[in-house]
Structure 1
Amino acid sequence: MSARNTARRPLGLALIFFIGFGLLGLAMHHGATAGWDQAALQLAQQWRAAHPAVTRAMLDASSLGGTPVLTLFTLLAAGYLLSVGRPARAAAVAAAMVSGVLALDGLKAVFERARPDPAFAALVQDGLSFPSGHASMSAVFYLTLGVLLAQRHGRRAERLYLLAVATLLAALIGTSRVVLGVHWASDVLAGWAFGVGWAALWFSLAARLRDARGPG
Structure 2
Amino acid sequence: MQDFTPESAAGPQPGRWPRRLIVGVAAVALLALAVSSLFADGGAHTLDRQIMLLLRNPQAPDDPLGPHWFEDVMRDMTGLGGIGVVVGGGLLFAGYLWLRRRRGDVLILAGSLAGAQLISAVSKLLVARPRPDLVSHEAQIYSASFPSGHTLMATVTWVTFAMLLAADFEDRRVRDYLLLIAWITAIAVGCSRVYLGVHWPSDVLAGWAIGALWMVVLSRLVPRLRGR
TM-score normalised by L of structure 2: 0.82
The structure 1 residue matched to 2:111, chosen from 83, 91, 95, is 95
- Is there any run of 5+ residues in structure 1 with no aligned partner, and where? none
Partners of 1:5 and 1:77 lie apart in 2 by: 28
Q: How far apart are the structure 2 equivalents of 1:118 and 1:25?
A: 18
Partners of 1:98 and 1:21 in 2: CA distance: 23
Match of 1:109 in 2: 125
The percentage of counterpart residues that share the same residue type is 32
SS class of match (2:55)? helix
Partner of 2:180: 164
AA of the residue aligned to 1:92: I
Shift of 1:56: 0.7
Change (3 A) 1:50 1:77: closer
**Structure-1 separation of matches of 2:23 and 2:113:** 16
1:201, distance to aligned residue in structure 2 (A): 1.8
Structure 2 residue 37 is the aligned partner of structure 1 residue 28: yes
Structure 1 residue 157: Cα displacement: 2.1
Code of the aligned partner of 1:45: R
Partner of 1:2: 8
How far, CA to CA, are the matches of 2:24 and 2:129 in structure 1?
24
Q: What is the CA deviation profile of residues 30-67 of structure 1, one whole-angstrom value per residue up to 9, with x for unaligned ones?
A: 22321111012112222724422221110111111100
- Give the gaps of 5 or more residues in structure 2: 1-6, 58-62
Report Cα offsets for 1:114-167 as digits up to 9, x if no partner: 111174322241321011000000100101111221232111221122111111
Q: What corresponds to 2:51 in structure 1?
A: 40
Deviations 1:73-126 (A, max 9, x none): 111112211221222222111111111111111111222211111743222413
Instruction: Point out the more displaced range, 63-72 or 73-82.
Output: 73-82
Q: Which of residues 128, 142, 153 in structure 1 aligns to 2:144?
A: 128
Greater mean alpha carbon deviation, residues 115-124 or residues 13-22:
13-22
Contact kept in structure 2, 1:115 and 1:182, CA below 8 Å: yes
**RMSD of aligned residue pairs (Cα, Å):** 2.5
Distance across 2 between alignment mates of 1:65 and 1:172: 10
User: What secondary structure, in the 3-state scheme, does the structure 2 residue paired with 1:5 have?
Assistant: coil
- Matched residue type, 2:215: A
Q: TM-score, normalised by structure 1?
A: 0.86
Size of the aligned set, in residue pairs, is 211
Question: Aligned partner of 2:90: which letter?
Answer: T
